């Protein structure tokens, strides 16, 4: 049983790529729009929830004992436990450490660009990606959105991540798929990362 989580910064990250021209950037983003369009077309009747920031999914994620979580994201969103991850506040960069069944589950990070510089820039665990320190039963990383295990995917979360996305491209995506904006559960709520636990965050969010 798999949960698929999709961060729109995988497609529309701002400020990192050094484009040689505006045309090069346009071609890149056009391909990303097409990739997102194709991905959304494969959802079928699975349950989908949309959130503003990635750590907002934790309350819903922890309602089931998934044996795999796939994160399509420019950033890995998984950190070394540092002797106890609860010493660090829950945030968009470590939400994967807050999954309650992680010790028995696999976490798979899907990153957008093969270039090692960009893969390294996506690490949320400092200078290393030591899988044995992540606290999960298994940690994988794979390029791209192909060959997803659709037969095993039960539910899907999508997050806007406006602080990480190119504003123009994010707005374009939301216009192409207005339900991504209309159904965002947290777009009008004030959020903080200093919750003591995912359970507290879930309660504070009104159960969303």
What's the whole-number mean pLDDT along residues 5-32?
Answer: 83
Q: What is the mean pLDDT of the chain?
A: 83
pLDDT band for position 88 (50/70/90)? low
Domain ranges of the chain: 2-204
Cα 145 from Cα 111, distance rounded (Å):
8
pLDDT band for position 13 (50/70/90)? confident
What's the whole-number mean pLDDT along residues 135-161?
Answer: 94
Per-residue confidence (pLDDT) for residue 150, from 0 to 100: 97
In the predicted model, is pLDDT for residue 4 greater than 80? yes
What's the whole-number mean pLDDT along residues 83-103?
Answer: 77
Higher-pLDDT residue of 151 and 59 is: 151
Higher-pLDDT residue of 51 and 195 is: 51
In the predicted model, is pLDDT for residue 36 greater than 80? yes
Q: Which of 49, 45, 99, 93 is nearest to 73 (CA)?
A: 93
> Which pLDDT tens digit goes with each residue over 70-80?
999 999 998 87
129, 141 contact by CB (below 8 A): yes
């Amino acid at each position: 049983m798999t949960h698929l989580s999709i961060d729109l910064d995988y497609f529309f990250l701002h400020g990192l790529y050094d484009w040689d021209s505006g045309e090069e950037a346009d071609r890149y983003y056009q391909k990303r729009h097409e990739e997102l369009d194709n991905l959304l077309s494969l959802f079928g009747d699975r349950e989908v929830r949309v959130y503003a920031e990635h750590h907002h999914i934790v309350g819903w994620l922890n309602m089931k004992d998934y044996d795999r979580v796939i994160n399509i994201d420019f950033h890995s969103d998984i950190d070394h436990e540092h002797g106890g991850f609860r010493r660090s506040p829950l945030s968009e960069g470590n939400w994967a450490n807050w999954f309650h069944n992680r010790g028995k589950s696999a976490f798979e990070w899907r990153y957008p660009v093969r270039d090692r510089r960009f893969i390294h820039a996506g690490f949320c665990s400092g200078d290393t990606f030591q899988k044995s320190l992540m606290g999960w039963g298994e940690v994988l990383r794979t390029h791209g959105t192909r060959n997803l295990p659709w037969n095993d995917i039960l539910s899907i979360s999508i997050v806007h991540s406006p602080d990480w996305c190119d504003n123009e491209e994010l707005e374009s995506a939301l216009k192409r798929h207005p339900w991504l904006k209309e159904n965002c559960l947290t777009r009008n709520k004030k959020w903080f990362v200093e919750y003591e636990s995912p359970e507290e965050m879930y309660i504070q969010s009104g159960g969303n």
